[in-house]
Structures are given as C-alpha cells and as structure tokens.
Amino acid sequence: MALRRRCLRPLLFFGTLALIGTGIALEAAWASLPAATRIVLQKGSRYWPTDLYLRRGDTITLRNGDARLIHHAFIEADRFSFDAGDQSPGAETRLILATPGDFIMQCGIHPKMKLTLHVE
C-alpha cells in the first residue's frame, strides 16, 4: 500500500502542474479573443438566454422575436444604464458592454422578463 502511494504522488503533483499550466494558457487565449456579438431573443415574455457571460467590449443584439408583442428592455445600475425604448416585433437594438459587473436587464412592459449579464 505504501509503495502505491509513493507512485501516485508524482502523478498527482505533475498532473496538478499540467492543469495549472493549461489554465494559464486558456486565460491567455481568452484575453486575446476579439470582442463577440451575442444575440438575445425576446420571445414569449422571456429573454433567451436568461444568463449571459460576457467580456468588456462584447455586443448584445436584442431581437424582438414575437409576432405581436412590443418589448422595452432596460438596465438601471449604479455604474451603468441602458434603455432600448419600445421595440416592435422584429426590431433589433444593439448594446456594447464596456462596464464590468453583474447587471439585470428587464422589460418595462413585461416585469417578469429578466436577463442577468455577467461582464468581466
């Protein structure tokens, strides 16, 4: 049993180093990615998706996918605010996220509609 533990220790040590090195490489790769554009669909009195993880500089395109409903997306936060105004069916509005933090996007017409944005 003691021999088995001695054999596993180097594997655990070097395996941990490999994971740490991979994490550093992934972090560097993530930092070098260009800004992205994400589509958020407003349909059926919901945002799709309901949670979104983004980086500073990413763009959100809000698309009203309902055939008859009007939506009114907004964010009110201490460091950042946004108001898309009334969006008719099929309309799109773009938002560039430049401020890091967690934000809640709501619909002024449908209060149960919520989208959580996590911006790094």
The secondary structure of residue 99, as a DSSP letter, is: S
Q: Which residues contact 103 (CB under 8 A, 6 or more apart)?
A: 75, 77, 80, 116, 117, 119
SS3 state of residue 52:
strand
Give the H or E element holding residue 4.
Answer: helix 2-31
Sequential pLDDT tens for the chain (120 residues): 555 555 555 544 455 445 445 555 444 444 556 789 999 999 999 999 999 999 999 999 999 999 999 999 999 999 889 999 999 999 999 999 999 999 999 999 999 999 999 999
The C-alpha atoms of residue 91 and residue 111 are separated, in whole angstroms, by 20
